[in-house]
Amino acid sequence: MEKTTKLDRIEQKIDLLLNSNKHRINEKKYISAREVQDLTGLNHRTVLNRSNLDEGHPRYIPSIQFGGSRRKYFERVVIERIFKLR
């Protein structure tokens, strides 16, 4: 009986952590390619490749780089609009 209760508590904690992580992603203004993958299901490498396309290309995804970093970020609102998430 005690094992079942302990397992239930562990499952509840895992669910809480997973839900809080998704909620935090949705609050950020800028998200990484992996976070875009979590929201859209589109592979993060595909997202990065589409950000390298010409701006006039229909599959282009606009990105932002901060400072001297090579990492690309995407504005959450733009991603939601492109993929009709809202």
Q: How far apart are CA 73 and CA 35, in angstroms?
A: 9
Confidence tier at 28 by pLDDT (50, 70, 90): confident
Confidence tier at 61 by pLDDT (50, 70, 90): very high
The share of the chain scoring above pLDDT 70, in percent, equals 85
Q: Across residues 30-37, what is the average pLDDT?
A: 93
CATH 1.10.287 fits 2-82, yes or no: no
Does the predicted TM-score (pTM) go above 0.75? Answer: no
Query: Between 10 and 33, where is the model more confident?
Result: 33
Q: Which residues of 36-63 are buried (b: 16+ CB within 10 A; e: fewer)?
A: bbebbebeeeebbebbeeeeeeeeebeb
Q: Across residues 7-36, what is the average pLDDT?
A: 77
pLDDT on residue 19:
67
Q: How far apart are CA 31 and CA 64, in angstroms?
A: 10
What are the beta bridge partners of residue 73? Answer: 32, 64
CB 67 within 8 A of CB 21: no
Domain layout of the chain by residue ranges: 2-82
